Copies of this chain bind each other. A is one copy, B any other.
Amino acid sequence: MTQATRETETGVNGDAAAVATKGGPGAGSGLRGFSRDDLHGLLADMLLYRRFEEKAEEAYAIGKIGGFCHLHIGQEGLAAGAIKPLRADDLVITAYREHTQALAKGITPRAAMAELYGRSGGCSGGRGGSMHLFDTSLGFYGGHGIVGGQIPLGAGLAWAIRYRGGDQVCVCFMGDAAVNQGSFLESLNMSAVWQLPVIYVVENNGYGMGTAFSRVSVTDMEARSGAYGIPAHTVDGQDVLETYRFFEELAGQVRAGAGPQFVNALTYRFRGHSMSDPVSGTYRSRAEVERHVEEQDPITILRDRMMDADLLTQEELEAVDAEARAASEDAADFADASPPPDPSTLYDHVYAEINEHGRLFLDGRGKGPAAGAGGPAAPGFGGGDHG
């Protein structure tokens, strides 16, 4: 679905200042403005994200995926709703819980899954892993592991847009816990001073790891951007249609020069923080999680609405789900078959340039001028068998 193919009625007021009070769960929850195809498209997107991550979960359990792996399950409405209305040349940057956002911006399930597997077919060549999916040709700028680290980078992407006189928009996602990083202040302030075309989106799932936002903030999320004069908006991220309409409108405003925006997107994480964190635990009860899974699943919410409106049959649902599963299986098969990175590339891409003079690497490999690419690893490092 693209902007062009659907009606343009939206639930967002045209005035940036006025939208500050817009939204909240339940607002604008109708199907209006979406064609049948639009709706089927969003449903298929979200189902793909869900099945993809369930597949990743499985693969992690059997050791095909390693390291940290943060699932977005439960938060797919936000990936689809915030990214799908963007233009292909708009830019997205985010933290480490980014699989579905990468898919939404166009990275294929194969390239994403192969990255999780650490294979050469991955979108970061297997060097990045789950936390560092990248495809800048699609406007997807990662995948960052330091909480809050992507916020100034996002400001920089927006800076670059403005510098070049482009009309793209940068969407910079962060978790609710990231707003307590100093980088948030510094980035929002600069964005306001320079009126950068950036939308900061907090995926407010209520927790940073095991810490409820209310334990590390006395104010509500909406209070955080006013210090820099940036309008705050709240949107129900579990309602993909509301979210879609909202971001379509807001991106248009920013494109037209409305300046930086701050969105508090309400959502919920259905899984543990990462694979080693149980789904419920000391910081949230099983009942709380179950209630959210029951009532706040963005896929269920859309499905029910579509069925209620006779826009989706059980058979259609099963078909689209089967497709999502098949794509995920295919991605896993692709990843499995993709070879690991060539060991001879260990030193590639540390530096962009193959230096003609001097030595770049100081670990005793290559006594001649440093070769930036393709040189074999020093024999001394070939025996890594620790861990």
Q: Which residue of B lies closest to A215 (CB)?
A: B193
- A189 close to B193 (CB less than 8 A): no
Chain B CB within 8 A of A180 CB: yes
Q: In the bound complex, what is the Cα–Cα distance between A75 and B184 (angstroms)?
A: 31
Chain B residues within an 8 Å CB radius of A229: 218-219, 223
Interface string of A225-254 (1 = CB under 8 A from B): 111110000000000000000000000000
In chain A, positions 171-210 with a C-beta closer than 8 Å to chain B are 180-186, 189, 192-193
Chain B residues within an 8 Å CB radius of A180: 185-186, 189
Chain B residues within an 8 Å CB radius of A184: 182, 185
Chain B CB within 8 A of A217 CB: yes
- A193 close to B219 (CB less than 8 A): no
Chain B residues within an 8 Å CB radius of A193: 215-218
Tell me what chain A mostly uses at the interface: helix, strand, loop, or mixed.
Answer: helix
Chain B CB within 8 A of A224 CB: yes
Q: How many copies does the complex hold?
A: 2
- A227 close to B216 (CB less than 8 A): no
- Nearest-neighbour CB distance to chain B for A79, whole angstroms, equals 27
Q: In the bound complex, what is the Cα–Cα distance between A365 and B265 (angstroms)?
A: 59
Partner of A227, one of B181, B182, B186, B219: B219
- Nearest-neighbour CB distance to chain B for A129, whole angstroms, equals 28
- B181 close to A186 (CB less than 8 A): yes
- Nearest-neighbour CB distance to chain B for A261, whole angstroms, equals 14
Chain B residues within an 8 Å CB radius of A186: 180-182
Partner of A189, one of B217, B225, B226: B217
Chain B residues within an 8 Å CB radius of A181: 182, 185-186
- A219 close to B223 (CB less than 8 A): no
Q: In the bound complex, what is the Cα–Cα distance between A226 and B218 (angstroms)?
A: 10
What is the interface of chain A, defined by CB distance below 8 A to chain B? 180-186, 189, 192-193, 215-219, 223-229
Known: A180-B189, A181-B185. 12 other contacts (CB 8 A): A180-B185, A181-B182, A182-B185, A185-B185, A192-B219, A193-B216, A193-B217, A218-B228, A219-B227, A223-B226, A224-B227, A227-B227
Q: What would 29 A/B residue contacts be, using CB atoms closer than 8 Å?
A: A180-B185, A181-B182, A181-B185, A181-B186, A182-B183, A182-B184, A182-B185, A182-B186, A184-B185, A185-B185, A189-B217, A192-B217, A192-B218, A193-B215, A193-B216, A193-B217, A217-B228, A219-B226, A219-B227, A219-B229, A223-B226, A223-B227, A223-B228, A223-B229, A224-B227, A225-B227, A226-B226, A226-B227, A227-B227
